[in-house]
Amino acid sequence: MIPEIGHFALILALAVALLQGSLPMIGAARGRAAWMALAEPAALLQLVFVLTAFLALMHAYVTSDFTVANVAQNSNSKLPLLYKISGTWGNHEGSMLLWILILAVFGAAVALFGSNLPAPLRARVLSVQSWIAIGFLAFSLFTSNPFARMFPPPPDGADLNPLLQDPGLAFHPPMLYLGYVGFSMAFSFAIAALIEGRVDAAWARWVRPWTLAAWCFLTGGIALGSWWAYYELGWGGWWFWDPVENVSFMPWLLGTALLHSAIVVEKRDALKTWTVLLAILTFSLSLIGTFIVRSGLLTSVHAFATDPERGVFILVLLCLTIGGSLMLFAIRAPALKGGGLFAPISRESGLVLNNLLLAVACATVFLGTMYPLFAEAFGYKATVGAPYFNLTFVPIMTPLIAIMALGPMLSWKRADLAGVLGRMKAALAAAVAATLLALYLSGGPVGPALGMGLAAWLFIGALSEWAGRIKLLRVHPSESWRRALTLPRSAHGMTLAHAGMAVAIVGIVGSASWKVEEILIMRPGDSVAVAGYDYRLEGVNRVQGPNYVSDMAQITVTRDGRPVTVQRPERRLYTVQQMPTTEAAIHTTGLADLYTAIGDPDGRGGHTVRVFYEPLVPWIWAGSILMMLGGAVSLSDRRLRIGAPRRTCPAPNTGTAAAKA
Amino acid sequence: MKRKHRRLVLILGGMAVLSAAVALVLVAFQETVTFFYSPSEIQAKAPPAERAFRLGGLVEEGSVRKAADGLTVAFRVTDLSASVPVTYRGILPDLFREGQGVVTEGRMGADGTFVADEVLAKHDENYMPREVADALKKSGQWKGADAKE
């Protein structure tokens, strides 16, 4: 009964979406207030229906209702409760439903918190948001119904893919989708602006918080996925330039560009067309990210279920959304003329360069990811792997990071480069010191050492800008403190995010350059020394888990005879699917991870053991967290919550909106 | 500076960055492109020895052997009409099994053995890499596993 309620609610949601996608849009065109006002209750109603459907599916999972085909294929009665819940979105149909749910949540958020938006803009945004919902609800209902029944029901379910039975991957999809779908807001605002033919500072102020929120979630989602790959696959790597990773990284790159170009629109009334285009492209890439790997078009190492059968529907949906919005852009963009002037050396130019480099970086990732498709069009099969991406991506990101430290110090319109460089003395000194230190410690090639120098340049540069704004050390500390308190939160946020990027770069460069790897057969009692640590295999025991059996090794790690830690890497066999998985053991020292994984027994009392010394990997996670934190701090800025400078007519209830937000 | 000049500077700067990037991408493609071959294609025409490429197919039933050092694995990759011997040193991916699809990356040794430095795993046992499916179709051995479910 409950699954049918869910199915019915989903159909009702489609009906509401059709209404919300049409009447308010017409109302906005004809100036009918009542029609426009329909959008908000419709958005809330849509959320209620989609949430009902989602909860119904979750209920089926939690109660192990195997009469629902989706549950029977992806769950099992012995599954721990957490994974029964996460199983709801651990499959194609359920993840579509999650996508739709998040879309509805964002729509409802505009309805709730958007009371300071001009009525026509709000109506149009909600309508566009609803067009997206219509596409996905139709996709879900007509091709991927999560509530389809199965008769006769199997005695037990086929179990969730064991690799998905992991806390990291349980929360990775919702985070990632919050990011992907979050960019739909920027998209809806962009389309609404194109229809209205107006982009102004107020518009940018509304777009920015949504983009920022989406960016934070996407950053978290990517980091979580990367972290999962790191500890769960047992390969010791955290990024493989695999299509699945790339498709989430491309919207991140463009989203980052959008975040920065929206500032220029807001403050200087320039770059309008470009910002609108970025908003369209970012969401388009998010859509591609959701689908391209799923469609089976690209071979991925990480891909889970693929379903080429649904490819045509997906392709039509993508073409309609991307093609339609780009066409609208081509027709309407010339109407968005305008903009403040700026000199070649100015904050605007810095941000333009930022956008240019990020967009080009995104384009190279796109070309590399899609290369197999291009090659096939020319009749041969080929791919490009990590070497291609390292060769193209690194040279593009290097200048970006170099100017990233300078940009925030440049003033709007016309900047004094000599003065700015003068303020970078500390950063320059730190860069030289870090390079020399890295060279001394590694004794190795210059490249990675320069990478460390670049990170130090960015870190100290970001801090110098912040210190300059609060006049640290130049006035009495209490005065600096007062200045720090009155500094807008978005300024603190930017410093945090930029510094976080620097921390992440240290981790990325360090782990890519100085990793030590050892693979060997070990018998109980054997030891091996890796990067100054001694690993001794004490034994391997059979352990029974809730739905798996595991070979758990016990490895004592010592350094110069002093105990460091005991590691227990596992090799699990999930009994229902007869599928083995690797559970790496990781001990972090803060500066490096000690990483062990075990493989098959060799049949003569030994086990294959992989020992990695992973320098600076924890810094990647720390940097990602700092970046997210920076975004969150910036989001809490009062100016963003109050929203906008007023347009032509003042919104009467700005104050209440701020209170609610 | 006039508005026109300013725009010109921006456009020229943009063009410079773009053309540098295009050059970079073209060089990178040339240097790093990895071709995909099926066992039949290798039998028909040996690929150049100095270049890394991808070899894909099914792991031949009964062909997986572990060498005495316990770390090196030898197996054969087949498209059911031809097969190529492969060696790989390291831990195989969790889902590596006889009879299952596999994509390996490496170089052809002088003795006709493919030395893989990467064996690509899939997270989902129902999932057949597209290249492998196509190779099987080409060799006429595709069993219509289109109906994977």
Asked if A299 reaches chain B (Cβ–Cβ under 8 Å), the answer is yes
What pLDDT is attached to residue B14? 83
Among the ranges given (A364-378, A428-442, A645-659, B96-110), the one the predictor scored with the smallest mean pLDDT: A645-659
Q: Report how far residue A547's alpha carbon sits from residue A193's, in angstroms, rounded to the nearest whole number.
A: 53
Interface of A with B in 161-220 (CB under 8 A): 161, 163
Q: Which of A95, A111, A265, A70 is nearest to A177 (CA)?
A: A95
Q: Which of A92, A299, A352, A364 is the best mutation test for B, with the most CBs of B within 10 A? A: A299
Q: Are A304 and A161 in contact (CB under 8 A)?
A: yes
Decide if pLDDT at A63 tops 80: yes
Query: How far apart (Å, rounded) are the C-alpha atoms in residues A25 and A13?
Result: 18
pLDDT at A657 over 50: no
The single residue listed with the structure tokens 């439903």 is A97
What is the per-residue pLDDT for A6?
Answer: 96
* Structure token digits, residue B54: 């991808």
Asked if residue A632 has pLDDT above 60, the reply is yes
Q: How far is B85 from chain A (nearest CA, A)?
A: 21
> Measured between alpha carbons, how far apart are the two ends of chain B, in Å?
67
Chain A partners of B134 at a C-beta cutoff of 8 Å?
A: 381
pLDDT band at residue B81 using 50, 70 and 90 as cut-offs: confident
| Partner residue facing B123 (CB), from A161, A387, A391 | A161
Output the pLDDT for position B146.
Answer: 42
Nearest beta carbon to residue A384 from set B34, B127, B129: B34
Whether A279 and A266 have beta carbons less than 8 Å apart is answered as no
Residue B1 is predicted with a pLDDT of: 55
A629 — contact with chain B (CB < 8 Å)? no
Residue A558 has pLDDT above 80, yes or no: yes
For the segment A206-240, what is each residue's pLDDT rounded down to a tens digit?
899 999 999 999 999 999 999 988 988 778 889 98
Q: Would you say A358 and A253 are in contact if contact means Cβ atoms under 8 Å apart?
A: yes
Interchain contact A357–B (C-beta under 8 A) = yes
Average pLDDT over residues B51-74: 86
Q: What is the pTM of this model?
A: 0.91
DSSP string, A489-539: HHHHHHHHHHHHHHHHHHHHHHHHHS-EEEEEEE-TT-EEEETTEEEEEEE
At A241-292, the pLDDT tens digits run: 988 889 999 999 999 999 999 999 988 888 889 999 999 999 999 998 887 7
- CA distances, A469 to each of A319, A406, A487 (Å): 47, 14, 8
User: Across the interface, which of B14, B32, B95 has its CB nearest the CB of A384?
Assistant: B32
Q: Please check whether residue A143 touches B, CB under 8 A.
A: no
pLDDT > 90 fraction of chain A, expressed in percent and rounded:
61
- For the cut 80, the answer to whether the pLDDT of residue A38 exceeds it is yes
Q: Phi, psi (5° rounding) for residue A92? A: -60, -55
Q: Answer yes or no: is pLDDT of A304 > 70.
A: no
Query: Which residues in A lie closer than 8 A to residue B12 (C-beta atoms)?
Result: none
Q: Do A356 and B17 touch (CB under 8 A)?
A: yes
**What are the distances in angstroms from CA B127 to CA A216, A294, A521, B83?**
32, 11, 31, 21
Domain spans in chain B, listed from the N-terminal domain onward: 1-33, 35-138
Query: Of A588, A580, A657, which is closest to residue A621 (Cα–Cα)?
Result: A588
The closest CB to that of A299, out of B24, B92, B131, belongs to B131
Greatest mean pLDDT range, A225-234, A328-337, A473-482, A488-497 = A488-497
CB contact under 8 A, B127 and A364: no
CB contact under 8 A, B123 and A610: no
What are the tokens at A204?
Answer: 């940018």
The answer, for A645 touching chain B at a CB cutoff of 8 Å, is no
Domain ranges of chain A: 1-165, 185-412, 423-512, 516-615
Identity of the highest mean pLDDT range in A545-549, B94-98, B125-129: A545-549
pLDDT tier at A656, thresholds 50, 70, 90: very low
pLDDT tens sequence across A360-381: 999 999 999 988 888 888 888 8
CB pairs under 8 A between A and B: 135
**Residue A128 pLDDT > 90:** yes
Between A157-171, A379-393, A631-645, B40-54, the lowest mean confidence (pLDDT) is in A631-645
Region A26-45 average pLDDT: 94
Return d(Cα A150, Cα A141) in angstroms, integer.
17
- Alpha carbon of B111: minimum distance to chain A alpha carbons (Å): 24
Q: Please report the ipTM that was assigned to this predicted complex.
A: 0.83
What digits encode the pLDDT tens for the residues A84-121? 999 999 888 898 999 999 999 999 999 998 888 889 99
Q: What percent of chain A has pLDDT over 70?
A: 93
CA gap A248, A489 in Å, rounded = 28
Facing residue for B94 by CB, picked from A368, A383, A582: A582
State residue B69's pLDDT score. 77
Residue A639 predicted with pLDDT over 90? no
What pLDDT does A17 receive? Answer: 97
Chain A neighbors of B91, CB-CB under 8 A: 234, 519, 597, 599-600, 608, 610
Per-residue pLDDT tens digits for A585-614? 999 999 999 999 998 787 788 888 999 999
pLDDT at position A473 is 83
- Given a cut of 60, whether residue B145 has pLDDT beyond it is no
Handedness of CA A236, A254, A304, A70 (dihedral sign): positive
Which residue of A lies nearest to B120 if distances are taken between CA atoms? A301
In angstroms, what CA-CA distances link A383 with A306, A578, B25, B36, B94? 19, 32, 14, 8, 23
pLDDT at A417: 86
The reply to whether residue A582 touches residue B25, judged by beta carbons under 8 angstroms, is: no
**pLDDT one-digit tens code per residue, A67-85:** 999 999 889 998 899 999 9
What band does B2 get if pLDDT is binned at 50, 70 and 90? low
Predicted pLDDT of residue A44: 97
d(CA A652, CA B12): 46
| CA triple A631-A632-A638, angle to 5 deg | 105
Backbone dihedral angles phi then psi of residue A123, each to the nearest 5 degrees: -60, -40
Q: A28: which residues sit within 8 A by CB, 6+ positions away?
A: A35, A36, A119, A120, A123, A124, A127
- Give helix A167-196 / helix A119-143 axis angle, nearest 10°: 130
Please compute Rg for chain A using Cα positions. 26
Cα separation, A306 vs B101, in Å, equals: 15
User: What pLDDT score was predicted for residue A308?
Assistant: 57
Best interface-test mutation with B: which of A388, A394, A607, A610 has the largest number of B CBs within 10 A?
A: A388
| pLDDT higher than threshold 80 for residue A510 | yes
> A557 in the Ramachandran plot: left (φ > 0), alpha (ψ -120 to 50) or beta?
beta
CB atoms within 10 A of CB A542: 8
* A3-7, A174-178, A333-337, A431-435: least confident range: A333-337
Task: Determine the Cα–Cα distance for residues A456 and A432; give it in Å rounded to an integer.
Answer: 9
Burial of A599 (0-12, 13-18, 19+ CB in 10 A): buried
Asked if A577 lies within 8 A of B122 by C-beta distance, the reply is: no
pLDDT band at A655 (very low <50, low <70, confident <90, very high): very low
| A388 lies within 8 A of chain B by CB | yes
Confidence of residue A653 (pLDDT cuts 50, 70, 90): very low
Q: Stretch A392-406: mean pLDDT, rounded?
A: 93
pLDDT higher at A414 or A215: A215
Residue A568 pLDDT grade (very low, low, confident, very high; cuts 50, 70, 90): very high
Mean pLDDT of A54-64: 96
Domain B35-138 class, CATH top level: mainly beta
Give the residue-averaged pLDDT of A331-353: 83
pLDDT value at A650 more than 50: no
By the CB < 8 Å criterion, does A356 face chain B? Answer: yes
Residue A442 has pLDDT above 80, yes or no: yes
Q: Please tell me the predicted confidence (pLDDT) of residue A163.
A: 80
Is B69 in contact with B90 (CB distance < 8 Å)? no
A336, A524, A529, A561 from A556: Cα distances, Å: 66, 11, 12, 11
Q: Indicate yes or no: CB of A579 within 8 angstroms of CB of B27.
A: no
Indicate the average pLDDT of chain A: 89
**Residue A583 three-state SS:** strand
- Comparing B17 with B142, the larger pLDDT belongs to B17
pLDDT of residue B122: 63
- A599–chain B Cβ distance below 8 A for any pair: yes
Q: What is the pLDDT of residue B75?
A: 92
Confidence of residue A660 (pLDDT cuts 50, 70, 90): very low
pLDDT at A306: 56
- Secondary structure (DSSP) of A229-255: HHHHS-SS-S----HHHHHHHHHHHHH
**How distant is the Cα of B70 from the closest Cα of chain A, in angstroms?**
6
CB–CB of A393/A250 below 8 Å? no
Question: Is the pLDDT higher at A307 or at A555?
Answer: A555
Site from B26, B89, B94 to mutate, A interface, most A CB atoms within 10 angstroms: B94
pLDDT greater than 60 at residue A645:
no
Q: Are strands B114-120 and B101-108 parallel, antiparallel or unpaired?
A: antiparallel
Find the residue in A nearest to B56 (Cα). A381
The four Cα atoms A371, A375, A381, A382 give a dihedral, to 10 degrees, of -40
* pLDDT tops 80 at residue A447: yes
